[in-house]
Amino acid sequence: MADNNGDVGAFLAGFVVGGLVGAAVSLLLAPQSGEETRTLIRDKGIELRDRADDEIIRFRETAEKTLQEVQSQADEMQKRGQEMIEEARARVSSAVEQGVEAARQIRSQAEDNSAEDSGATA
């Protein structure tokens, strides 16, 4: 995601620099009076500022949308992780209960066998 931010920043910087260079070259090569040139430079500067503002707004909207998508995915992953933890707990709990029950049965059988052996030797 950091690479995308750098790409957009580089694009915006290139856009602004290219616009300024193009405007300056066109104004310097145009056969106009100084006042007309200053007016054109001011107008082009305002136009470029507006374009840059529009690009920044568009970038911000895209960034906010991406952030919302990432947050949504993170929430979904957290929910799935919690569900998996609950399933694992249920499985472990069931296995523990089965193990305890098996141990009781083995103990009961051992006690019964011990009692039978005691009764047979007495």
Other residues' Cβ atoms within 10 Å of the Cβ of residue 72: 10
The domain of 78 spans: 2-121
For position 21, what pLDDT does the model report? 82
For position 118, what pLDDT does the model report? 67
For position 95, what pLDDT does the model report? 93
- For the entire predicted model, the pTM comes to 0.47
75-101 pLDDT, tens digit per residue, is: 999 999 999 999 999 999 999 999 999
Dist CA 77 CA 83 (whole Å): 10
- DSSP secondary structure string for all residues of 33-101: -HHHHHHHHHHHHHHHHHHHHHHHHHHHHHHHHHHHHHHHHHHHHHHHHHHHHHHHHHHHHHHHHHHHH
Answer yes or no: are the C-beta atoms of 69 and 63 closer than 8 Å.
Answer: no
2-58 pLDDT, tens digit per residue, is: 456 667 777 877 888 888 788 777 767 767 677 887 888 788 889 888 988 998 999
Dist CA 97 CA 92 (whole Å): 9
